[in-house]
Amino acid sequence: MGKMKNKVLPVSVLVLFMLMCINACGISKSRDSADMVSELNNRIIEKVAENYEEGNISALDIVIVRIDFGSFSQDNASEIFVLCKILNTPHVAGLDKTVGILLDADSLEMVAYKEFAADKVVINCIQASDGQSRILVSKTTTYQGISTQEIQLLAVEGSQWVEIPIDALKIIGDESFYYMDIVDDLIIVASEDKLISSEEIVAVLKWNPETEQFVLEQ
């Protein structure tokens, strides 16, 4: 259960990225940019509120933290993948409730939706050689001082979330701690839950977009 940094983009960067997504998606440019950003923001909030598994939720509790534009559910699709943090969640579900929602970039209709709950959720998008993006998820839960971690590689097929086994992790075993390097698409495997020096690194797994697997580097 490595302590992985979950980089939350500043609001100004998110607004700029939303504008870029809108322009790339071909959403009507005759309208004011602020209106278009507001429309995308409102659609995200609306879809999360409609699908939230625990029932009623206030729009104020839905915070957009990341937006990715690309192809997720099929080849050459124009889609927007959004991550939202849900505030004020019951602790029994974990301190961190994250929602992943995939929207069609042209219609802004929802393609897929999934909730992730743990004490800490870290999600990164990685690209395969066919141009489609896969989703790497790390969930860390701590109970009475003991942390456990689950790491998953997910694909969206149609509207379904499908787990892709990470074969290299089967060789390493379950007693290690995982850190994501989101710049170089790496999983750093360590012997300690706090990565302080390189001596604690057990292995480095690098994403291979051709095979859609993480390959053992060392």
42-59, pLDDT tens digit by residue?
999 999 999 998 888 999
Q: Is the dihedral of CA 193, 174, 118, 187 positive or negative?
A: positive
Question: Backbone phi, then psi, for 184, in 5-degree steps?
Answer: -105, 10
* pLDDT score at 6: 32
* pLDDT score at 70: 93
* pLDDT score at 115: 96
* pLDDT score at 4: 35
Which of these, 50, 39, 20, 6, lies nearest to 180 by C-alpha position? 6
* pLDDT score at 5: 34
- Domain spans of the chain? 11-169
Rounded to 5°, the CA angle 45-13-23 comes to 75
Q: Are 189 and 168 in contact (CB under 8 A)?
A: no
* pLDDT score at 197: 66
136 CB-contact burial (10 Å; exposed 0-12 / middle 13-18 / buried 19+): buried
pLDDT in tens, the chain (218 residues): 343 333 334 344 455 455 555 555 555 444 566 677 788 889 999 999 999 988 889 999 999 999 999 999 999 999 999 999 999 877 666 889 999 999 999 899 999 999 999 999 999 999 999 999 999 999 988 888 877 888 899 999 989 999 999 988 887 766 677 777 766 788 888 766 666 667 778 888 999 999 999 998 86
pTM over 0.85: no
